[in-house]
Structure 1
Amino acid sequence: MSAADDVVDAHDAEEAAGRPAAFFTSPDGRWFAPTALARGPWDADSCHAGPPTGLLARASAHALPDQPLVRLTVDLVRPVPMAGFAVEAEVTRAGRSVSTTLVRLLAADGRELLSARGLHVASYAEGLGSVPTAPVAGPVLADAVPGPFPIGRTLHGLPCFTDAVETAYPPGHDGSPGPTTLWLRAPRLLAGEDPSPFQRICPLADCGNAVSRNEDVARLGFLNADLTVALHRRPEGEWFASESVSHWHADGLGMSDSVLHDVHGPVGRAVQTLLLRPLG
């Protein structure tokens, strides 16, 4: 049985058992309530940043439905509460070829939690025919072996993001510290709604710092202060890979740099600015 088959079976079992099969619920399309699967591994009351980033991409796409979203830059201002939040979006520039958006996640009291700038570029309507591109090979999903999420330990012991996703490793990778490639499949953002390819890849895009950590979580924390996701083509399917490396430095700064792939090859890049801090 392939890794993809394993994941389909796992998600079918979740739904049959009545467990949440999506990261969020929403009564009105503006206020979003996280399910347990959106919880981060460190704080029981806060979300992992990946699923909220998917909602930022969703809001940006809804604001400019006729121009594809190609880049999203997120500033992680405050923790995103499990208590819920609102999402607001505005078009900051409406052009024929290039447009921009500003999207914000807001707490119940109006405080800004996350903000994001979206870049939208119009597709060439008539198509360009055959176009040469760099022949870059990516990892092969069929060769990957199911394995645990790189960070198995949480600080609260509650169901969280690491329980929501299914992961698999290509040959030579197993989730050990250091540069690593990881395949991941995540639940939908919202039950009953098919996410766009950009939205679907966001939970993986925010995992680069964990995938490529340079030592296990014991001595140093490696939180990201931002996330930039830039895509050069639309990802296809539900399985995506992160080919990640982290650069850590003694002054407490770092960066995670990840090439993102679907089953056909590279689709873009995710970059995170890291804050290295001692634990304990």
Structure 2
Amino acid sequence: MTSAASVPAFYTSLGAGHYRPSISVQGAWRPDEQHMAPVSGLITEELIRHEPREGMRIARLSFEILGLIPLQDLHIEVRTLRPGRTIELLEADLTIGGRTIVRARAWRLQLSDTADVEGSELPAMPAPQDCLAYAEGGAEWQGAFIASLEWRTASDGREGRRGVWVRSAAALLEDEPADPMSSFVMLVDAANGSATRMRPTQMMFPNVDLGIHLVRAPDPAWVGLDTAVTFGADGVGLTSTTLNDVAGPVGRAEQILTVRHFPS
């Protein structure tokens, strides 16, 4: 991973929900696209900033990817679909050139003290300091976003099944802090490239959505991706990930894939 001082932040705010991407967001499939990972982090930041409510937290995020995300200036608009005292549903549209490219929804839930019944069946990963550097993690991918990542392997892994820790040398925003949840979410979409069944030079398998469920507020210092990839027989795949942070399991992520051979 390149040092943080030499890697531009993913985005610069232009005000009123408008942002300019840096080269650090460059995608893995094409040089003229934005990777969905930092895009999802930026949308999350806008959702968190929208009419914030004390004692409530976003617990579920869903992103529908409606097309290639051009490496161009973008705008995010957020609205409240379902207001409520204890449960709210928010929606955000990311547009480029007047076209909606990503649509996201978030459930914001009221928090309460449930420590007396706390428990989890999500599997924990070994701590980042107990894992080995994993230079191969991003070696098969193109693009500046993947190049910004540091990888550590939490298991030997195999094609289609691997646990890794990732962090980025790039901050989400230039010259302003981002919410810890946004800084965590901005790396989750990397799961689809962390346990590949096929090399990306052999087949295409981009995800068309990203769903994230979080049972607590995550620590973004490292993002743990315990990932399994399934390819069906008719061109559809699924990347399923247990999400960890340095304190342990924090939630789940799912990505549906369109699996294709390259055009001949």
TM-score, normalised to structure 1's length?
0.86
Q: Give, in whole Å, the separation in 1 of the partners of 2:208 and 2:148.
A: 23
**In the TM superposition, what are the counterparts of 1:1-280 in structure 2 within 5 Å?**
10-11=2-3, 14-15=4-5, 17=6, 19-20=7-8, 22-66=9-53, 67-108=56-97, 110-124=98-112, 127-134=113-120, 136-148=123-135, 150-154=137-141, 160-173=144-157, 177-186=159-168, 187-280=170-263
* Gaps in structure 1 of 5+ consecutive residues: 1-6
Contact persistence 1:40–1:160 (CA under 8 A)? yes
**Could you give the per-residue CA deviations for residues 142-200 of structure 1, whole angstroms, max 9, x where no partner exists?**
11122225342456xxx511111211112424xx5220111011232102333223211
Secondary structure in 1 matching 2:137: coil
Q: Amino acid of the residue matched to residue 146 of structure 1? A: A
Q: Give, in whole Å, the separation in 1 of the partners of 2:46 and 2:130.
A: 35
Higher mean alpha-carbon deviation, 90-99 vs 137-146, is at: 137-146
Q: Please, what is the CA RMSD of the aligned residues?
A: 1.8
Q: Amino acid of the residue matched to residue 103 of structure 2? A: S
Q: Give, in whole Å, the separation in 2 of the partners of 1:36 and 1:146.
A: 25
Secondary structure in 1 matching 2:44: helix
Secondary structure in 1 matching 2:41: helix
Q: Give, in whole Å, the separation in 1 of the partners of 2:193 and 2:240.
A: 11
Contact persistence 1:177–1:214 (CA under 8 A)? yes
Q: Percent identity?
A: 25
**Could you give the per-residue CA deviations for residues 65-109 of structure 1, whole angstroms, max 9, x where no partner exists?**
11211111000001111111111100111101110111010112x
Deviation at 1:216, TM superposition (A): 1.7
TM-score, normalised to structure 2's length?
0.91
Cα 1:268–1:129 shift into 2, 3 Å: closer
Contact persistence 1:70–1:119 (CA under 8 A)? yes
Q: Give, in whole Å, the separation in 2 of the partners of 1:279 and 1:262.
A: 36
- Count of equivalent residues: 259
In the alignment, what sits opposite 1:4?
Answer: none
Contact persistence 1:77–1:115 (CA under 8 A)? yes
* Gaps in structure 2 of 5+ consecutive residues: none
